[in-house]
Amino acid sequence: PQNRKTAKISAMPTSATRSAFIRNALEFAEKISRQKGVQRIAIVREITKPIREPEILCLLVTIDEEAPIKPIADIGRKLKGRMVSMPNAAGADVFLANEAHEYLGRTCSYRECHPRVACEGSQCYGTYIANDFHVFTPGPEVIQSPPVEVYPQVVIRERIPDDLRRALEEYQKRMLPGKPVEKEYPRRQNKNAITTDTWSNPSAKDLYDAQWPEEPATKAQYEEGRQCGGCAFFAPFNADWGLCCHRESRHHLETVFEHFTCPKQQEEGWGGHSFSTHRQT
């Protein structure tokens, strides 16, 4: 049976900031997917991570040679305006890549694209693409295999927070009913090492800080472990253990008093089986 403290924490909602970020990301994807030449839309960086108060919304749009940039940039500019108006938010970035997975730059932030002092692009060509590679350039692995794709199919490549997972499932049912959510978990990733410094539930970090404010939230690194044969979980031998819900291996208990379900359980639609985590010593 759940103890009173655990039950209360597992029911804690996601933050209003995360909800707004996720909603705006999926609305953007819905609009951009109707544009000519758009091959893929992905969500990258902050909201794919267990960050309770994200600051910037980042999306990756892959286009072909015939795609007109201005309509995409217009939608991106309006998205940036909405995000900047949110408390503590720094705005949004729309990254562009071609079909060869080459980074092209960010969409222009201005209604009229022409040379100006405030533009961070290295040179203005009037194409509505800000080639400010000196400011930020996504890594090639992010462009080739982003953590979350939402078009033309929902593809999840890493463990994501539950609020984003639920939103993606609803989006798939509404926008892509004939294309089920695809999960491509990197099962052999981190086979020889793992750093358990992430929080799969955004509220878990707040709980940890409240319970043990003097102790660092970053856990230790482990060089040996066992990986579940059914999903991406990798468990160090010298950590607390919890039985994997599909019983092929064991899962590392990452965070304090947090209820979660493994990806295999989510994929197969098993219900009602979860286990709470405990403070690691």
Could you state, in order of their start, the residue ranges of all structural domains in the chain? 16-183, 194-276
**Is 226's pLDDT higher than 90?**
no
Question: Comparing 224 with 119, which gets the higher pLDDT?
Answer: 119
| Span 180-201, average pLDDT | 53
Give the whole-number percent of the chain exceeding pLDDT 70: 53
pLDDT above 70 for 219: no
Q: How far is CA 42 from CA 57, 61, 94, 143, in A?
A: 11, 6, 10, 9
Taking residues 58-80, report their average pLDDT: 95
- pLDDT of 57 higher than 90: yes
pLDDT on residue 70: 93
According to the model, what pLDDT value does residue 87 have?
A: 86
Instruction: Please determine, for residue 274, whether its predicted confidence score (pLDDT) is greater than 70.
Output: no
Contacts of 192 (CB under 8 A, 6+ apart): 223, 224
Torsion 165-257-236-262 (CA) sign = negative
Does residue 179 register a pLDDT over 50?
A: yes
pLDDT of residue 151 exceeding 60, the answer is: yes
**Structure confidence at residue 237 (pLDDT):** 36
Q: Is the pLDDT of residue 187 over 60?
A: no
pLDDT band at 183 (very low <50, low <70, confident <90, very high): confident
Does residue 251 surpass a pLDDT of 90?
Answer: no
User: What's the confidence (pLDDT) of residue 52?
Assistant: 87
Query: Is the per-residue pLDDT at 86 higher than 50?
Result: yes
Is residue 223 predicted with pLDDT exceeding 70?
Answer: no
Task: Please give the average per-residue pLDDT across 227-240, as a whole number.
Answer: 40
Most confident residue range from 171-175, 211-215, 272-276 = 171-175
Residue 258 has pLDDT above 60, yes or no: no
For residue 152, cis peptide bond before it (omega within 30 degrees of 0): yes
pLDDT attached to residue 108: 82
| Mean pLDDT over each residue of the chain, to the nearest integer | 69
Residue 220 has pLDDT above 90, yes or no: no
pLDDT the model gives residue 198: 46
**Length of the chain counted residue by residue:** 281
Residue 149 clears pLDDT 90, i.e. is over it: yes
* pLDDT over 60 (residue 253): no
Angle between helices 69-84 and 16-32 (to 10 degrees): 170
Most confidently modeled range among 43-47, 123-127, 240-244: 43-47
Reported pTM: 0.62
